[in-house]
Structure 1
Amino acid sequence: MRFIAVLRTSESHGFPPPALHEGIAALGAEAARSGVLVDTAGLLPIATATRVGVSAGRLTITDGPFDDPAPLGAYAVYDVATRDEVVHWTKRFMDLHRRTWPGWEGESEIRQIFGPES
């Protein structure tokens, strides 16, 4: 089963501390060695985003920044046997934030991927 975990956090926290970067790199390497991590990356600030939508039957294109209180900040795609496994890896990722970035707040949302390879 494939899952995506997306991180939502305010961009007002600033740039992450080096200890968090190091911890995420180590955790990602461990998950990759175990064969469960398919892909992961951080996302540029919401000011660089573009949204393409449909409203009243018309396509709309809007460039950021947007006023989202907790925009997407990163994602990870996992290929695991159970939902509990992706929760385990996501808890470890969030705990890195808690331990290395005092005052930081955010959440990860886990969703199962629906498609031919999932």
Structure 2
Amino acid sequence: MRFMILVKATQGSEAGAMPDEGLFAAMAAYHEQLAKAGVLLDAAGLKPTSAGWRIRYAGGQRTVVDGPFAQSKEIVAGYTLIQVRSREEAMEWARRFPSPHGEMADGEIEVRQLFELEDFAPSPAVERFRDLDAGQH
């Protein structure tokens, strides 16, 4: 079972503020624990939305919308991707996640389970994705 831990942005992270050394050290220690346990798949911080863009789909058309975007509480600032045996194990790891913007700062993480190919009914399209995955290993 794969789960993504999503770190929600703040006004500071959207302004490009970098984590202080203490927070960076806490995040490094946490991710080292994940790696030693063999559950870490990937992790990264994301640059502010001012460096990004969105593609809006409407009426069969695509429109590029440059950042920055409003509503920082709706924006993802980083993620950690883990693979564990159960929802409970994912929850335990999430409970140990360091406060993402400093111990005394407000912040939020969200944890979402990823779909696996086994979650979908068999179909030619699902098999194409399975073949892609097999080619990566």
Q: Which residue of 1 aligns with 2:108?
A: 107
User: 1:36 aligned to 2:39?
Assistant: yes
TM-score, length basis structure 2? 0.74
User: Any idea what SS the aligned residue of 2:117 has?
Assistant: coil
Q: In the TM superposition, what is the alpha-carbon distance from 1:75 to its structure 2 partner? A: 0.4
CA RMSD, Structure 1 to Structure 2 (Å): 2.1
Of structures 1 and 2, the one scoring higher in RCO (CA 8 A, sep 6+) is 1
Q: How high is the sequence identity, in percent, across the aligned residues? A: 32
| CA pair 29-98 structure 1, distance change in 2 beyond 3 A | closer
Q: Which has the higher strand share?
A: 1
Task: Choose 108-117 or 45-54, whichever is displaced more.
Answer: 108-117
Q: Which residue of 2 aligns with 1:4?
A: 4
Equivalent residue for 2:18, pick from 8, 15, 22: 15
TM-score, length basis structure 1? 0.85
Consecutive unaligned residues in structure 1, runs of 5 or more: none
Q: Which residue of 1 aligns with 2:81?
A: 77
Give a deviation string over 1:1-55, Cα, whole Å, max 9, x none.
1111111131326332211100110110110110111100111111111111211
Task: Choose 107-116 or 8-17, whichever is displaced more.
Answer: 8-17
Aligned length: 115
Equivalent position amino acid for 1:8 in 2: K
User: Any idea what SS the aligned residue of 2:110 has?
Assistant: strand
User: Any idea what SS the aligned residue of 2:27 has?
Assistant: helix
